[in-house]
Structure 1
Amino acid sequence: MNTKDKVQLDIRKATAAAEVISFDIFDTLFVRPLCDPEDLFDIVGDRIGMRDFRERRRAAQSKAFQVMHANGLKEITLDGIYAVFDGLPVARDEVRKIELDLELELTRPNPELIDLFLELANARRVVITSDMYLQLDFFEALFHKYGLPRVPLFISSHRNATKRDFGELFDIVAAECGVAPERVLHIGDNELSDVRRAREKRLAAFHYVDARRSSLPAVSTPAASLAAGMFRAYPGKLNPDSFGALGFAVGGPAALAFLHWINRKAVQDDIELILFTARDGYVLDRMEKRGHGGQFGRCEYFKSSRTALTLAAIDETNFEQHIPLLLSGAEELSPFELLERIGVVAPADNVMRDLGLGPEILLDPTTIELFKSFLWAIRWEILKTCRETRAALFNYLIELGVKPGMRIAMVDVGWNGTTQEAFHCALQGMFDIELYGYYLCLTEHPECVRRRKKLRMDALLTARSIGHRLLERVYANRVAVELFFSAPHHAVIGYKFDAEGRVLAVEDQGRGATHELSDISDAISRGVEEYGAYASELFRRVRVDPAPEEVVKPLLAFVENMPAQAMRLLQSVSNFDAWASSRNRDVSLTEYLG
């Protein structure tokens, strides 16, 4: 049972003895897609060009409480706050309207509770009981906006009584509903005002705890707050304990941030063609085509990989220097698997056995020299595959619109530029272009530093942008990060021509138990795309710039402190890395986590 179903089941049980069911509004029946409710003040401040608006707004609220007490009242109102708010750069009424409009835009039905509310409101007596300075017409407009049924509204600013101080608002609820307090069940998130005060007034109380709120990170900008808070308010049907939800909450912000960063860099570098390299670029390409990253120039999904591009670059003159790469990540693979992952058919079984390389022989420190000799012995068969791969790649690039002299950016998640270097080598003697590499993350490892000296490479996440320690945390969890960008198709390992001369991508389905990977990648990708659509629209509506350096922060929080539920999901993923997968053992994704 997921968390939503459990919460609703518990509330249904609690309502059994109640004649009247009361819902709190904020952080209960409604939520804001923010890490902290006061982050809304920062959006207002940005809108009016007042950097210290949040602090000044807090001060005005404190002053409004002083006026309230002096006048013998028990609650403040938004009008009362702005009446004592001095020093604004624009008219008070204009700023008040901006805040009110933002509250109406950002206050959204809680997907965990709203369908239960509708069910109860259609069959039982339901009321709203809320402590809030916002006035009655705001709540009426809120319910009208979402087509919710009209129910009695007990709002502290309207009733001049609160839950939090002495619970007097609960007295009014029971009296006006004409029931004994014991027959009222109040549901709310605040332990003091919604639980203790309700019980002091002899009401039944249900303490609603939103785990999504408690897991939100502390952030410093509106963009970061919105990026991390989206999942709380998303109305789509995502099981909160699923790969789709993980894709939405973590992969979505990372992909949207990366896409906006790519767009910005492409404009700066005057890029003519962006190649979203498979499989990392799959979801980015789909989001770009839906307009989630702004206006792009020409973009194509490039079904490629380090393996395919390396094979295209191998010839008789450099075969020997590539043998270490062909053997990389091959521990415990058989000779047959070693060739399978580069699309080469192994010699017949009897030939392999004559070479002392039957299927029971696995690569390890004691057999590595035997494997090196084997690769050298069948190099002509491997080179035949390399030649076809190179010829087909040339035709494929023409199909993609590549022309000599173009400024082209290839997009990859990271980490050290090996795929870009392979592409650079494969292009020699084929196309003379200006090649740029755009990465989510680049490390400070020596091989990356070496490549950055000779290749055009840049990344959203670098030691300069996030610091050395956090950069290493991202890299230590690189396989989990790659999972958020994985495509629901197999890894591309080469190219070939079909009978009609058309170029086909050769894929490696991996070895071992990999049958669930496509479904997992599809679920994550759908979650990422749903985030892209929802977040892009929300950023537009509240007029907040989705700054890449801020929107990516949910990913950074994830690698810093991976939630237990996410770990449980990742533990179910095996043989994610097709290059290193083997029928001789299953590798859990969690073995790669740092």
Structure 2
Amino acid sequence: MLNKDTLLRIGCFLREQTGKVAVYGLKLNAQAVYWHFPKSIACFLDRDINSGFFCGLPIRRIEDLPRNNIHAIVIAASLSAESHIYARICDFCDSHGIVIYSLYSGKLKAECLGKAFPAEENQESELRKAIASHDIVSFDIFDTLLMRKVLFPTDVFDIVEKRLREHGIDIPGFKNYRIQAERGDKRHKGLAGIYLTLAEMLGWTDSQAALVMREELAAERQVLVPRPGMGEILSYAHDIGKYVLLVSDMYLQPEFLQEVLAENQLTAYDELYVSDDRGTGKGEQLFELVRKEHPAETYLHIGDNAIMDGWSARVHGFDSWLVPSALQILKTTEAANILSFAENFNDRLLIGLFANRTFGNPFAVREKLVSVKSLPQFASFFLAPLAAQYVLWLLQRAKIHHFEGVLFAARDGWLFNRLYQAAAEIMKLPNVPPGMYFYGSRKLCISAALQEEKALEWLKGHLVGQTHHFLRECFGFLPGDGHIPPAWGEDTDLIWNEVVDKKESIFARSAVIKDGYERYVARLGLKREGRYAFADLCSQGTTQCALTHSVLPNLYGLFFARYMSGSSVTMGRVETFLPQADWHMLANNALEFIFSSPEPSAASVDENGNIIFEEEDRSDKELKLLDEAQEAIEKFCHEFFSLCESDGFISPAIGHFLLSMYQQPIFAGAGKVFDGMDINDNLMGVRVDCLLTNEK
């Protein structure tokens, strides 16, 4: 229903009219206008209905107004519909001398409306030109200068509810109560007023309400970050001498906003206008208040909301430049489909962090393309979300199974081990099984497990086409004719009789390796009969299987992803984070390259338990890129861990979808950051590209 101030303004307008007026709209607002001013209303208008009656008065076409001597229209629709209705009727009304009045924006005159800069001009250089040509420049704050790490503003209330539970305060449904308090009672002012309403709803004392409000402010402060590119625009406006204002529809106090802006290096402004502090909003008289207090010839407002920052600004004589938010940009791309997957807070947090990185800079999208220029950028965009999910999944599974520890397999477990321990610390998780980095390559583990003919048969069945190469590399085996086997593809049956003839020497060498490996295991403090999780990146299970037949028989696999083959069922107990694949997971080699240790692969172990490494085959440049990419992933994951629900549901489909985005048109060419990069398979003795041809 219409509030008292709106009714007073409508009454003043209607008294100015010499005749009756038409009301545009057939819903509650239009009905309310008629109820309060029945003698002033002659008829109703609507886009879709051109005949019939409403509230006992005729519904007419706009073309009928002049012949019925009606020279004024009241737009009785929502603020979001105002601009569309005005655009539909303004030319006709202007040519026939019909005055247009809106419930929210007052009298609308074409000559008084500000200019709307076209969306296609939303480039940084053009925006700078527009700023230079105006006297006063104002900026919206939220989603324009600052953005939240979460997907939606109300996700902050999920964080508050979680933090309250950690303090022993359980308020089921807090988020819904908080939303209701903000939308409902308007007797109170600002955030303090919202919490007065909440206290009345939930029976809180003043001290309880104050505690929860402090948690909300702390959560807001934690999730707010500057939008890339926009701080530079703000500084530019101030540096060239423009009077710069920040204008925000917000319940937070100006003092808090000033602190947060300063913490994010957004200080290049002269004055701050906040709706709850000024007693009026952008859709009411806030822009008019700015004009009254700062008279000038030209005004430009920059913001993300088409209604509040666009239409409402223009109604009050501001030119407007819309800078789409990260979420708005995401919705225009192939990534929009991910929103239908989001079912809980962890999902929305992950998508929010992705959107901030990919679409946070409004000037980074050029010709519907976001350029991915570096390996660290690729890792932050597409690999980090999956890494964060996998580590949280590991923590949850490790807790459920009560493992004595989690072994992260070299080399692919290097970064995951660090993330696992960081997550436990950041989330303050008690009784988490300790994680440790464990040297256990396929070459080393298989070498330590060949002490019987049954093991040799397993080797032959598993390393099809590779057995001869493996035995030569690890045990010095050569067939009678002395030929050097290829890395892949030789028929093992051709030399198998000779392998069996030399089995005792293989068994003896394997026993020495196993003995040294047992010393290494003991040095780590691991017990042979201990129950340990074995975390591996993308595996069939070969390493785990070999370990269970040599030094650690009670391993339980918690794999990131798993290849399936005819022999997979013999590899031991395994759970996988991602669905099991027949052969190759998308970007598997890229994942191995990025998550790998900066150390070379483990080749073997000496009799004292010291690991023997392969020669390093990566360049200094590649190792530097590796370090930078891992740092980018760690930053993403730490932000996720600091806000997520540690026991919350994890949907692998979210992370997998975000990984697949690098192949979509919006990120066309992203895979080129791997051009010229490959990885070495130390078991096969071959190099393979980080991205296969069909993955680019």
Q: Using the alignment, how far apart are the partners of 1:151 and 1:471 within structure 2? A: 57
Q: Contact between 1:223 and 1:547, CA under 8 Å: does it hold in 2?
A: no
User: Over residues 73-98 of structure 1, what are the superposed CA-to-partner deviations in whole Å (9 max), with x where a residue is unaligned?
Assistant: xxx84455556555325347445554
Contact 1:487 1:522 in 2 (8 A): no
Distance 2:222 2:452 in 1: 64
Q: 1:508 to 1:315 in 2, by over 3 A?
A: farther
Give 2:636's aligned residue: 531
**Is 1:25 matched with 2:146?**
no
Partners of 1:186 and 1:17 in 2: how far apart? 12
**Residue 202 of structure 2: SS of its match in structure 1?**
coil
The one-letter amino acid of 1:507's match is E
Opposite residue 114 of structure 1, the aligned amino acid is: G
Alignment pair present for 1:440 and 2:560:
yes
Q: Deviations over 1:522-555 (max 9, x none)?
A: 333212222343444x33xxxx533363386752
Aligned amino acid, residue 627 of structure 2: D
Q: Does 1:179 align with 2:296?
A: yes
- In the other structure, the counterpart of 1:230 is 353
CA change 1:41–1:220 in 2 (3 A) is: farther
> How many corresponding residue pairs?
535
Please identify, of 143-152 and 382-391, the stretch whose mean Cα deviation from structure 2 is larger: 382-391
Alpha-carbon distance change, 115 to 175 in structure 1, aligned in 2, over 3 angstroms: same
Q: Following the alignment from structure 1 to structure 2, what is the Cα–Cα distance between the partners of residues 328 and 29? A: 59
Given the alignment of the two structures, is residue 373 of structure 1 paired with residue 494 of structure 2, yes or no? yes
- Does the aligned pair in 2 maintain the 1:104–1:138 contact within 8 Å? no
Contact 1:32–1:232 at 8 Å: present in 2 too? Answer: no
Partner of 1:313: 449
Counterpart position of 1:247: 379
Question: Which stretch of the first structure deviates more once superposed, 269-278 or 544-553?
Answer: 544-553
CA distance in 1, matches of 2:421, 2:625: 22
Counterparts of 1:181-200 in structure 2, within 5 Å, are 181=298, 184-200=299-315
Q: Does 1:506 align with 2:622?
A: no
Q: Which amino acid aligns with 2:295?
A: G
Residues 564 and 582 in structure 2, CA contact (< 8 A), matched pair in contact too: no
Structure 1 contact 274–298 (Cα < 8 Å) conserved: yes
Q: Percent identity?
A: 21
Q: Does 1:398 align with 2:522?
A: yes
- Tell me which residue corresponds to 1:557: 657
1:426 aligned counterpart, secondary structure? coil
SS state at 1:589 partner: coil
For 1:472 and 1:84, the matched residues in 2 are separated by 53
The amino acid of 1:322's aligned partner reads L
State the distance in 1 between where 2:660 and 2:595 align: 21
The structural deviation recorded for 1:508 is 7.1
Aligned positions of 1:381-392 closer than 5 A: 383=506, 386=510, 389-392=513-516
Q: Does 1:203 align with 2:318?
A: yes
Mapping for residues 95-114 of structure 1, pairs under 5 Å: 95-114=212-231
Is the 8 Å Cα contact of residues 111 and 233 (structure 1) preserved in structure 2?
A: no
Match of 2:533 among 406, 409, 412: 409
Ranges in structure 2 where 5+ consecutive residues have no aligned partner: 1-121, 365-370
- Cα offset, 1:593, TM superposition: 5.2
Q: In structure 2, what is the Cα distance between the partners aligned to 1:347 and 1:505?
A: 23
Q: Which moved more, 1:563-572 or 1:472-481?
A: 472-481
Q: 1:351 to 1:209 in 2, by over 3 A?
A: farther
Q: Give a deviation string over 1:333-362, Cα, whole Å, max 9, x none.
A: xx9xx45995577979x976xx5x69xx78
Q: Residues 299, 49 of structure 1: CA spacing in aligned structure 2 closer, same or farther, 3 A cutoff?
A: closer
| Offset, 1:378 | 6.8
1:466 — aligned with what? none
Equivalent residues of 1:127, 1:151 under 8 A apart: yes
State how far apart, in whole Å, the 1-side matches of 2:587 and 2:472 are. 21
Name which of structure 1's ranges 26-35 and 94-103 shifts more when overlaid on structure 2.
Answer: 94-103
Q: Structure 2 vs 1, CA of residues 403 and 58 (structure 1 numbering), >3 Å: closer, same or farther?
A: closer
Residues 112 and 577 from structure 1, CA distance in 2 versus in 1: closer, same or farther, beyond 3 angstroms? farther
Q: Return the match for 1:418 from 515, 518, 542.
A: 542
Summarize the Cα distance change of 1:118–1:550 in structure 2 as closer, same or farther, 3 Å threshold.
Answer: farther
The answer to whether the 8 Å contact 2:372/2:667 transfers is no
Residue 323 of structure 1 aligns with an amino acid whose one-letter code is K
The residue that corresponds to 2:460 in the other structure is 323
Please tell me whether the aligned partners of residues 404 and 532 of structure 2 are also in contact (alpha carbons under 8 angstroms).
Answer: yes
CA distance in 2, matches of 1:441, 1:131: 46
* Residue 570 (structure 1) aligns with: 671
Partner of 1:495: 604
Is the Cα contact below 8 Å between 2:472 and 2:478 reproduced in 1? no
- Within 2, Cα distance between the matches of 1:577 and 1:233? 34
Alignment of 1:301 onto 2:403: no
Unaligned runs of at least 5 residues, structure 1: 1-5, 69-75, 463-469
Pick from 204, 207, 211: which aligns with 1:90? 204
Q: Show the counterpart of 1:3.
A: none
Confirm or deny: 8 A CA contact 1:407 1:434 kept in the other structure: yes
Contact 2:593 2:679 in 1 (8 A): no
Cα displacement string for residues 246-285 of structure 1 (whole angstroms, at most 9, x for unaligned residues): 4345544443444444445445544444321112210122
1:228-252 per-residue CA deviation (whole Å, 9 max, x = no partner) reads 3235668x99997543244345544
In structure 2, distance between residues paired with 1:580 and 1:312? 14
Does the 8 A contact of 2:516 with 2:610 survive in 1?
A: yes
Q: Measured at CA, do residues 42 and 534 of structure 1 come closer, stay the same or move farther in structure 2, by a change above 3 Å?
A: closer
TM-superposed CA distance for 1:559, in Å, is 4.8
In structure 2, the CA distance between the partners of 1:375 and 1:515, relative to structure 1 (3 Å rule), is farther
1:222 aligned partner, one-letter code:
F
Find the aligned partners of 1:561 and 1:179 in 2 and give their Cα distance.
47
Contact 1:272/1:408 (<8 A) preserved: yes
- Residue 136 in 1 paired to residue 238 in 2? no
Q: Distance in 1 between matches of 2:286 and 2:597?
A: 54
Given the alignment, which residue of 264, 267, 270 partners 1:151? 270
Distance in 2, Cα, partners of 1:586 & 1:436: 29
Match of 2:645 in 1: 545
Query: Is structure 2 residue 406 aligned with structure 1 residue 274?
Result: yes
Indicate how the Cα distance of structure 1 residues 446 and 502 shifts in structure 2: closer, same or farther if over 3 A, else same: closer
CA distance in structure 1 between the partners assigned to 2:240 and 2:582 by the alignment: 51
User: SS in structure 2 opposite 1:87?
Assistant: helix
TM-score with structure 2 setting the length: 0.63
Bigger mean CA deviation after superposition, 225-234 or 525-534 = 225-234
State the shift of 1:25 in Å: 0.5
After superposition, the Cα gap between the structure-2 partners of 1:494 and 1:145, relative to the gap in structure 1 and judged at 3 Å, is closer
Deviation at 1:484, TM superposition (A): 8.0
Residue 37 (structure 1) aligned with residue 153 (structure 2): yes
Q: CA shift at 1:22, angstroms?
A: 1.9
Secondary structure of 2:250 counterpart = coil
Q: TM-score, normalised by structure 1?
A: 0.73
Which residue number in structure 1 is paired with residue 415 of structure 2? 283
Q: Quickly say closer, same or farther: Cα 1:126–1:287, change in 2 above 3 A.
A: same
Alpha-carbon separation, structure 2, partners of 1:550 and 1:53: 22
Aligned counterpart, 2:65:
none
Work out the CA distance in 2 between the residues paired with 1:340 and 1:25.
Answer: 65
SS at the partner of 1:192? helix
Equivalent residues of 1:250, 1:554 under 8 A apart: no
- Given that 1:342 and 1:493 are in contact with CA atoms closer than 8 Å, whether structure 2 keeps it comes out as no
Letter in 2 for 1:326: L
Deviation at 1:496, TM superposition (A): 4.1
Tell me by how many angstroms 1:288 deviates: 4.4
Report Cα offsets for 1:211-242 as digits up to 9, x if no partner: 466258433333333343235668x9999754
